[in-house]
């Protein structure tokens, strides 16, 4: 396993990078991370301070928060921009989060309850606006870059309040914090997919998910401290998949036949393309898990648990919770697995590439369009290299192990390129 590179820490980064907890290259007048995300950088303040000022002509309109810049092709003031985002969420974006089986109650969640709750919690309101701006980027390719910049600005602002809420969970903010965590997860996935179609977003898909998982570690605290409040609250139906994941529940029929098996009986493989991919994903996970069981090593239990959690998520995937089971897997994996993934551990990457294919299964959702494929493509080069170098995690003397390694790589490649 490669050694970790040492690095020196600096406390001179810009305010925006500090808020996002990412490394700042400290380049003036605008650092590289802020330039890539198209947002205001606090380093620009020093250059503005050097200019002559006049009380009658402020450098920035008081209507504009310090770190929000509206691109010229979005001809709106901050006030009208936020009205547009708020209205679009309640009339359009929110409805995309409702499954057809949820009925009027599902619409009520996102057209009435969520907007009302957001008005009580600034961090949820800004997360909602970031998500909506990304939806507008998806809907209008001609202004995509501008809406992405706006989304990233609101997202960065929202994370400040979100982190503060996680540090002080109460009955009054637990629902807002839980909803925000789900929206942040959806935003991260959407940005990964959009990075393929946007030159201003040069993102490492795996690093983005690793960073997200670290950020959302506090969600476990919410579920422990506030489960009763959530279960008795207005959002209990929509948040149930997250609660089920917390308790490691598997939704099965009394006969022992999973919901997935019953659902797909009406979708023969030869007439439903996602049925074939879905079944191949379950088969691949079973095969990989069998190999892990036969291995020994320090991280065997971590590999097993992460693989089994994904199996459970996919067995319940065709239920009425639609994409919820796929998304919440990232909240269940152990921090050790996240560290292994960050180090490009081979077995962890093999498991994670299966989640990329699982995301590819929900590519009809606007926020997941290219995200799964991006994750798979991001992992394939290192997996190809590891296979060629006979990485120590796979014993080269074990033919079955090497064959399984090669099979997963080729299966994942074909899954995202041919479906």
Residues 162/123, Cβ–Cβ less than 8 Å: yes
Judge if 199 and 89 occupy the same domain.
yes
Range of the domain at 35: 15-48
5 domain residue, yes or no: no
Question: What pLDDT is recorded for position 407?
Answer: 85
* 80-94, 220-234, 255-269: least confidently modelled range: 255-269
Q: Is 345 helix (H, G, I), strand (E, B) or coil?
A: coil
CA 216 to chain centre: 10
- Alpha-carbon distance of 59 to 54, in angstroms, equals 8
- Alpha-carbon distance of 402 to 390, in angstroms, equals 8
Q: What are 1's strand-pairing partners?
A: none
Q: Is 89 helix (H, G, I), strand (E, B) or coil?
A: helix
Judge if 296 and 377 occupy the same domain.
yes
C-alpha dist (Å) from residue 67 to 36, 62, 130, 212, 325 = 15, 12, 14, 22, 35
Judge if 226 and 357 occupy the same domain.
no
Measured between alpha carbons, how far apart are the two ends of the chain, in Å? 34
Judge if 22 and 86 occupy the same domain.
no
Residues 6+ apart with CB under 8 A from 128: 85, 86, 89, 114, 115, 118, 183
Q: Which helix (H) or strand (E) holds 336?
A: helix 335-342
Higher pLDDT, 202 or 78: 78
pLDDT digits (tens, 9 = 90+) for 308-354: 989 888 876 765 446 777 887 887 888 899 889 888 888 999 999 99
Q: Is the confidence at residue 300, as pLDDT, over 50? A: yes
Question: What's the number of domains the chain is made of?
Answer: 3
53 domain residue, yes or no: no
- Alpha-carbon distance of 317 to 114, in angstroms, equals 24
57 domain residue, yes or no: no
Judge if 43 and 90 occupy the same domain.
no
Higher pLDDT, 3 or 80: 80
> What is the pLDDT averaged over residues 52-66?
36
- Range among 9-18, 180-189, 201-210, 214-223 with highest mean pLDDT value: 180-189
- Alpha-carbon distance of 21 to 34, in angstroms, equals 13
Judge if 348 and 223 occupy the same domain.
no
Judge if 315 and 390 occupy the same domain.
yes
> What is the pLDDT averaged over residues 125-130?
97
Stated length of the chain: 419
302 domain residue, yes or no: yes
Handedness of CA 98, 100, 101, 107 (dihedral sign): positive
69 domain residue, yes or no: no
- Alpha-carbon distance of 304 to 318, in angstroms, equals 23
Residues 177/222, Cβ–Cβ less than 8 Å: yes
Question: What pLDDT is recorded for position 9?
Answer: 53
- pLDDT band of 364, cuts 50, 70, 90: confident
Question: Of 245, 262, 280, at which residue does a domain stop?
Answer: 245
Residue 4 DSSP one-character state: P
Question: What pLDDT is recorded for position 105?
Answer: 78
Residues 134/147, Cβ–Cβ less than 8 Å: yes
> What is the pLDDT averaged over residues 386-410?
65
Question: What pLDDT is recorded for position 351?
Answer: 93
- pLDDT band of 193, cuts 50, 70, 90: confident
Residues 166/186, Cβ–Cβ less than 8 Å: no
Q: What percent of the chain has pLDDT over 90?
A: 25
- Alpha-carbon distance of 151 to 162, in angstroms, equals 16
Question: What pLDDT is recorded for position 62?
Answer: 33
- pLDDT band of 255, cuts 50, 70, 90: very low
6 domain residue, yes or no: no
| Cα angle value 167/112/242 (rounded, 5°) | 45
Residues 6+ apart with CB under 8 A from 102: 109, 237, 238, 320
Judge if 106 and 22 occupy the same domain.
no
Integer-rounded Cα Rg, in Å, for the chain is 22
Judge if 91 and 41 occupy the same domain.
no
- pLDDT band of 68, cuts 50, 70, 90: low
Start-end of H helices in 51-141: 78-91, 103-108, 114-118, 122-139
Higher pLDDT, 157 or 102: 157
* 87-91, 143-147, 215-219, 294-298: least confidently modelled range: 215-219
> What is the pLDDT averaged over residues 88-97?
94
379 domain residue, yes or no: yes
Question: What pLDDT is recorded for position 72?
Answer: 75
- Alpha-carbon distance of 78 to 119, in angstroms, equals 17
Question: What pLDDT is recorded for position 245?
Answer: 60
- Alpha-carbon distance of 312 to 53, in angstroms, equals 61
- Alpha-carbon distance of 351 to 306, in angstroms, equals 8
Judge if 41 and 130 occupy the same domain.
no
Closest by CA position to 327, among listed 225, 192, 233, 127: 192
- Alpha-carbon distance of 197 to 203, in angstroms, equals 11
Higher pLDDT, 301 or 397: 301
- pLDDT band of 401, cuts 50, 70, 90: low
Backbone angles phi, psi at 57, to 5 degrees: -135, 80
Question: What pLDDT is recorded for position 128?
Answer: 97
CATH number for the domain that contains residue 21 = 4.10.240
Question: Of 245, 272, 297, at which residue does a domain stop?
Answer: 245
Judge if 408 and 270 occupy the same domain.
yes
Average pLDDT, the chain: 77
Q: Is the confidence at residue 190, as pLDDT, over 60? A: yes
- pLDDT band of 59, cuts 50, 70, 90: very low
8 domain residue, yes or no: no
Judge if 188 and 129 occupy the same domain.
yes
Tokens representing 82 are: 């936020």
């Amino acid at each position: 396993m490669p050694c970790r590179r040492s690095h020196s820490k600096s406390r001179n980064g810009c305010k925006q990078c500090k808020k996002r907890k990412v490394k700042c290259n400290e380049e003036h007048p605008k650092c590289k991370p802020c330039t890539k995300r198209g947002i205001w950088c606090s380093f620009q303040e020093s250059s503005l301070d050097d200019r002559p000022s006049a009380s009658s002509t402020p450098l920035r309109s008081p209507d504009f928060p310090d770190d929000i810049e509206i691109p010229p092709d979005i001809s709106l003031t901050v006030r009208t921009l936020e009205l547009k985002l708020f209205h679009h969420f309640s009339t359009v974006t929110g409805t995309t989060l409702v499954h057809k089986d949820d009925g009027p109650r599902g619409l009520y969640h996102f057209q009435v309850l969520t907007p009302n709750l957001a008005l009580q919690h600034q961090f949820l309101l800004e997360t909602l606006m970031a998500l909506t701006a990304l939806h507008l980027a998806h809907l209008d390719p001609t202004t995509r870059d501008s809406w992405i910049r706006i989304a990233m600005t609101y997202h960065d602002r929202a994370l400040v309040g979100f982190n503060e809420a996680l540090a002080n969970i109460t009955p009054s903010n637990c629902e807002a914090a839980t909803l925000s965590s789900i929206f942040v997860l959806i935003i991260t996935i959407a940005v990964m997919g959009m990075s393929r179609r946007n030159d201003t977003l040069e993102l490492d898909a795996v690093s983005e998910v690793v960073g997200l998982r670290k950020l959302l570690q506090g969600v476990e605290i919410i579920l422990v401290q506030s489960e009763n409040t959530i279960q008795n609250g207005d959002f209990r139906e929509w948040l149930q998949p997250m609660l089920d994941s917390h308790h490691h529940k598997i939704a099965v029929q009394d006969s022992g036949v999973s919901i997935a098996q019953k659902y797909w009986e009406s979708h023969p493989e030869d007439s439903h393309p996602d049925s074939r991919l879905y079944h191949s994903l379950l088969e691949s996970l079973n095969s990989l898990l069998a190999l892990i069981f036969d291995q020994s090593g320090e991280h065997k239990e971590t590999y097993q648990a992460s693989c089994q959690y994904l199996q459970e998520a996919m067995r319940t995937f065709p239920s009425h919770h639609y994409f919820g089971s796929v998304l919440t897997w990232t909240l269940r994996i152990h921090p050790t697995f996240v560290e292994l993934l960050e180090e490009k551990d081979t077995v962890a990457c093999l498991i994670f590439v299966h989640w990329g294919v699982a995301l590819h299964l929900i590519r009809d959702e606007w926020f997941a369009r290219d995200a799964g494929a991006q994750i798979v493509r991001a992992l394939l080069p290192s997996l190809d290299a590891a296979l060629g170098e006979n990485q120590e995690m796979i014993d080269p003397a074990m033919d079955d192990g090497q064959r399984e390694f090669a099979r997963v790589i080729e299966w994942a490649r074909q899954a995202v390129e041919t479906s």
